[in-house]
A and B are shown apart, each in its own frame.
Chain A
Amino acid sequence: MTFDWPTLLPLIFAGLMGLAILIYVILDGFDLGIGILFAVAEDSEQDTMIAAIGPFWDANETWLVLAVGLLLVAFPMAHGVILTALYIPVFVLLVGLILRGVAFDFRAKVPSGKKHRWNRIFFLGSVIASLAQGYMLGVYVLGLDVGLGGMAFGVLVAFCLAAAYAAMGAAWVIYKTEGELQKKAVRWLRTALVLTALGMAAVSLATPFASPRIFDKWFVWPQMLYLSPLPILSALLFLWLWRQTFHLPRPDDRHALTPFLTLAAIFALGFAGLAWSFYPYVVPDKLTVWQAASATESLAIILAGTVVVLPVIIFYSFYAYRVFGGKATDLTYD
C-alpha cells in the first residue's frame, strides 16, 4: 500500500465517519434511552428526565447528521447503495426521529392537558428510532442481506441496541438526578445491562458464523491473539459495572458518572470490533472505501475544513456540557 493522498483520504474519512457514528451512538444513545425509559417512569419523573437532556439533545443528534453527511459527501456511491437497500428501515428510522424530535419540543409548549399525549409520542419515537437503527446495523453487518436470515438477525440486533440505549439512558439519569429517581435508575440500569450483555454476546457469536468473511478475519492466528482483548475487556467491564450497580448511589454521589463512562467504553470496544470486521469495505463485500470515495480534490477541501472546525466543535460541545453540568433542575422555559 502506498501512502499518497488518494489512498489516505478515503481512509481518513472512513475513520472520521466511524468516529462520528460512535459519538452519535453514545450521545444520542442516552437521549433515545431516556425516551425508552419513559415507559416505566412517572409523570413527574419524566419532566426531570427531559430536563437532564434538554440542553444537549439538539447538538447530540447533529452527530448523526454529520455521520450520514460524511457517508453522503465522502462515499457517494456507498451512500446510494446502502440507503436504497435499506429503504423501508431508513423510513421507519426517520419516522421515529421525527416523532421523537418534535414531541420533545411540543410537550413543553402545548396546553397542559395535551402534554401526556406528546410524552407518549416521545416514547414511541425513541423506541422506533432505536429499533430501526439496530435492525439496519444487523442487516448491514451481514452485507445488506435482506433475506429471512438477515431480517431475523436484524431483529436480534434491534432489541440488543434498544436495550443498550436504555442502559445508557439509565446511566445518564443516575448522573443527572438524585433521590428516588436516581435509585430507580440504578434498577433500570441493572435490567437493561443484563439484556444488553445477552444481546451483545449473541450478536458477537452469531456474526462470524453468519458471515464467513468476518469469521476469517477473526479466527485466524495471530489476529485472534491481537483481537482477544476486545471481547475479554468488554466482558470484564460488563461484570464490573454489574457489581457496581449494587453499591450505587454512593455517599456524596461519588462515581455517579462511572456507569455512563463504562458503558461508553463498552460501546467503543464493540465499535472497534465492528470496524475491524468491515475494513476495508464500506459496503460489506461490495465496495471498498477507495471504490466508493469522492474525488481526491473534493475530499481534500472537506478535510481542510474539518481539521479547522472539528476541534472547535469539540471545544464548544464541552463548554455546553459544562454550562449545564451538575444535577438537572427544572428547565425554566416559560
Chain B
Amino acid sequence: MDPLILSRIQFGANISFHILFPTITIALGWVLLFFKLRYNATNDSAWMRAYFTWVKVFALSFAMGVVSGVTMSFQFGTNWPGYMEKVGNIAGPLLAYEILTAFFLEAAFLGIMLFGFRRVSNRVHTLATVLVAGGTTLSAFWIIALNSWMQTPAGFEMIDGKAHAVDWWAVVFNPSMPYRLVHMLLASGLTVSFLIAGLSALRYLSGDRSESMWKALRTGVFTAAILIPIQIFAGDQHGLNTLQHQPQKIAAMEANWTTGPNVPLVLFALPDEAAKENKFEIAIPDGASLVLRHSTSGVVPGLDAYPGNHPPVFPLFWSFRVMVGTGLLMLAVSWSAAFFLKRRHSLPKPLAMLMVPMALSGWLATLAGWYTTEIGRQPWLVTGVLKTADAVGPVAGGHVALTLAVYLILYVLLLIAYLGVLVHLALKAAKDGDTSPLPGVMKTAMSQPAAGE
C-alpha cells in the first residue's frame, strides 16, 4: 500500500470533512449578529428565538470544526513533515497568527455567546456575538492567505532549499488571495442562507407558521438571492485571475487539449487523459474564448502547453461543472422563492419541498469548488516550490490505511449524527413555534431590554 496515495486520500477526506463546518460558522456568526441586532432594535422576541435556534447549530458546527481542525494540524506532522520543513518559515507565522488572533477570540467568547445571555449585559452579549463572528472571519482570512500562497507563492526566496520570507505583505496579499477570500466568504454566506432557508422550509412544511420561522425563512431566502449574482461575478473574476497565474488549472477545468483561438466551451464531456481527447463532447463554439478572453478569437491555453505538469483533467473538469451547476440551481431557487415571499407573501409547497434538500447545496458547491482549486494545484503542494510527493513522511502504508479506515467511519457516523440533529432542531422549533419560553429573557429584566410580551 502506497503511503503517498493513502496519505492524500486521508488528508483529502479530513479537509473535506473539516471545511463543511467553518463554511457554516463563518457566515452564521454574522447572521446571528443580524438576529441579535434586529432584536435589540425591535424588541421582538421572535428574533431572539431565531437566535437561540441557530446558535445551537453554530455551537455544534464550531465543535465539529475544532475537532477536525485539530486533526488536520496534527496531520501536517504525522503525514506531511516535508511541508513544514520546506515552507515552515512562511506557513508557520500565518498559522500562528490564525491561532493567536482568531481562534482564541472565538473560543473564549463562544461561551458567553452560548450561555451568557443571563449573566452579562445585553450589550456585552451582543459584543460577544460580534467578536465570535469577527473571529471566524479573521480565521478564514489567515487560512485563505496561506492556501492562496500555496497556489500563487510570492514574497519569498529560497535559501538552502527552504523558503524564507522577504516581504510579508506580498506573502499575505499574494496574487490570488483577494479573489479566493471573497469567493470563499460568499460561498459561506450562500451555504448558511440556503441552510437556514431549507430548514425553515422544513418547518413551514410541518405546519409551522410562527413569526420566528418567517423571520428565519426570509433572512435565508433574501440573503441567498442577493449573494448569488455577486458570487457568480466574483467567481468569474477569480477564474480570470487563475487564468493569469495558473493557466494549466484552467486548461484542465475546461478540458481544452490544444492551445489556440476560438476555443469552444465544453458543456458535457468525458475527458480521456490517455488519448488526450474528450468523449461525448457537447460544446458551444468559441464559448471558452469568449468567457475567458471576452473575445471569440481569444487564445486560451491548452493542456499541450504543460506536458507532465498539469493537474488530472477528469476530476477537475467535473468538480468545476458541479460547482457551476449548483450555483445556477441556487440562482433559480432563491430568486423564485424571493419572488413568492415578496410578491405573494407565501411559499408554494413544491418550492418549499425543493428548498429542503437545497439546504445542503452550499456544502456541495463549496466542496466541488475546493476540489477544483486543490486538485488543480497538483502535482504541486506549493506551486513551483514543493511537489506533493516530496512532502510525504516515512510512515508505513499499513498504518496510514488503518487510520484512514477509522477516520472515514468516524466522519460518516458524525455526519449522519450532525444532519440528524439539524433536522431534529428544526422539527423541535416547528413544534414549539413561538410558544416555548425564551431562555434568559424572563428572569433578568434588569439587564435585558423588556421581554416584549
Q: Which residues of A contact B (CB under 8 A)?
A: 54-56, 58-59, 61-62, 64-66, 68-74, 76-77, 79-84, 86-88, 90-91, 93-95, 97-98, 101-102, 104-106, 109-111, 294-295, 297-298, 301-302, 305-306, 309-310, 313, 316-317, 320, 323-324, 331-334
Chain B min CB distance to A118 (Å): 9
B92 interface residue (CB < 8 Å to A): yes
Cβ of A84 and Cβ of B92 under 8 Å apart?
no
Chain B 275-330 interface residues, beta-carbon cutoff 8 Å to A: none
Partner of A80, one of B105, B114, B393: B393
User: Which residues of B line the A interface, CB within 8 A?
Assistant: 52, 56, 59-60, 62-64, 66-71, 73-74, 76-78, 81-82, 84-85, 88-93, 95-97, 99-101, 103-112, 114-120, 162, 164-165, 168, 393-395, 399, 403, 406, 410, 414, 417, 420-421, 424-425, 439-440
CB-based contact B115/A54 at 8 Å: yes
Please determine whether B66 and A58 come into contact, CB atoms closer than 8 angstroms: yes
A-B CB proximity, top 8 nearest: A80-B81, A83-B77, A73-B92, A76-B88, A55-B111, A76-B84, A101-B67, A298-B89
Which label, helix, strand, loop or mixed, suits the secondary structure of the B interface? helix
Cα-based distance from A295 to B251 in the complex (angstroms): 37
Q: Give the docked Cα–Cα distance between A58 and B108 (Å).
A: 7
Inter-chain contact A80/B66, CB cutoff 8 Å: no
Would you give the shortest CB distance from B5 to chain A, in whole angstroms? 17
| Given A54-B111, A58-B66, A73-B92, also A109-B424 (CB < 8 A) | yes
**Which residue from chain A places its CB closest to the CB of B113 in the assembled complex?**
A55
Q: Given A81-B81, A88-B399, verify A294-B99 contact (CB < 8 Å).
A: no
Starting from the known contacts A74-B92, A109-B56, A301-B165, 5 additional A-B residue pairs (CB-CB under 8 Å) come to A54-B111, A102-B414, A294-B89, A309-B104, A323-B112
Inter-chain CA distance A126–B93, complex, in Å, is 31
Is the Cβ of B81 less than 8 Å from the Cβ of A332? no
CA distance A323 to B117 in the complex (A): 11
Q: How close is A184's CB to chain B, nearest CB, in angstroms?
A: 24
A334 near B52: Cβ-Cβ < 8 Å: yes
B55 to chain A, nearest CB (A): 9
Complexed CA–CA distance, A305 and B142 (Å): 14
Q: What is the CA–CA distance of A73 and B99 in the complex, to the nearest angstrom?
A: 11
Compute how far the CA of A302 lies from the CA of B414 in the bound complex, rounded to whole angstroms: 35
A101 to B16, CA, bound (A): 19
A-B contact count (CB 8 A): 212
B205 shortest CB reach to chain A, Å: 20
Q: CA–CA, A310 to B71, complex, Å?
A: 24
Question: Which of B63, B105, B119, B168 is A102 in contact with, Cβ under 8 Å?
Answer: B63
**Distance between A268 CB and nearest chain B CB, rounded to angstroms:** 22
For B395, the chain A residues whose CB sits under 8 A away are 84, 87
Say yes or no: A101-B66 contact (C-beta < 8 A), given A61-B107, A65-B103, A83-B78: yes
Question: A309 contacts B101, CB within 8 Å?
Answer: yes
Contact of A109 among B70, B96, B421 (CB under 8 A): B421
- CB of A58 within 8 A of CB of B425, answer no
In contact, A332 and B115 (Cβ under 8 angstroms): yes
Q: Which residues of A contact B97 (CB under 8 A)?
A: 302, 305
Find out whether the CB atom of B93 lies under 8 angstroms from the CB atom of A313: no
Whether A72 touches B95, Cβ cut-off 8 Å, given contacts A81-B81, A305-B101, A324-B111, is yes
Q: What residues of chain B lie closer than 8 Å to A334, measured between beta carbons?
A: 52, 56, 439
Q: How far is the CA of A72 from the CA of B393 in the complex (A)?
A: 15
Q: Report yes or no: B109 in contact with A320, Cβ–Cβ below 8 A.
A: yes
Q: How far is the CB of A232 from chain B (nearest CB, A)?
A: 36
What CA separation (Å) do A77 and B86 show in the bound complex? Answer: 9
Provide the residues of chain A in CB contact with B90, threshold 8 Å: 298
In chain B, what residue has the closest Cβ to A88?
B399
CB distance from A315 to the nearest CB of B (A): 10
Instruction: Assess the A72–B81 pair: CB atoms within 8 A.
Output: no
Closest chain-A Cβ to B81's Cβ sits at a distance in Å of 3
A293 to chain B, nearest CB (A): 10
A59 near B118 with CB under 8 A, answer no
B81–A306 CB distance below 8 A: no
Q: Using known A-B contacts A91-B403, A323-B120, determine if residue A84 contacts B68 with beta carbons closer than 8 Å.
A: no
A84–B77 contact, CB under 8 A? yes
Instruction: Tell me whether A105 and B115 are in contact in the complex, defined as CB-CB below 8 angstroms, given that A62-B107, A76-B84, A98-B68 are known contacts.
Output: no
**CB-defined contacts of A87 to chain B, threshold 8 Å:** 78, 395, 399, 403
A-B contact pairs, 9 of them (CB 8 A): A61-B70, A82-B77, A83-B74, A95-B410, A102-B414, A298-B89, A309-B101, A324-B111, A324-B115
A61 to B162, CA, bound (A): 32
CB distance from A297 to the nearest CB of B (A): 6
A333 B114 Cβ-Cβ under 8 A: yes
A65 to B73, CA, bound (A): 8
A74 to B114, CA, bound (A): 34
Partner of A110, one of B59, B76, B85, B424: B424
B85 A76 Cβ-Cβ under 8 A: yes
Interface centre among B96, B114, B394 (most CB of A within 10 A): B96
Q: State whether A95 touches B111 (Cβ < 8 A).
A: no
Bound together, the chains give a CA A241 to CA B416 distance in angstroms of: 46
B89/A295 in contact, CB under 8 A: yes
Most-contacted residue by chain A among B74, B106, B410 (CB, 10 A): B74
Once the chains bind, are A316 and B67 in contact (CB under 8 Å)? no
The CA-CA distance from A58 to B111 in the complex, in Å, is: 8
Q: A residues within 8 A CB of B164?
A: 295, 297-298
Q: Please, how many angstroms separate the alpha-carbon atoms of A260 and B324 in the complex?
A: 56
A109 and B77: CB pair below 8 A?
Answer: no
Q: Are B68 and A73 in contact (CB under 8 A)?
A: no
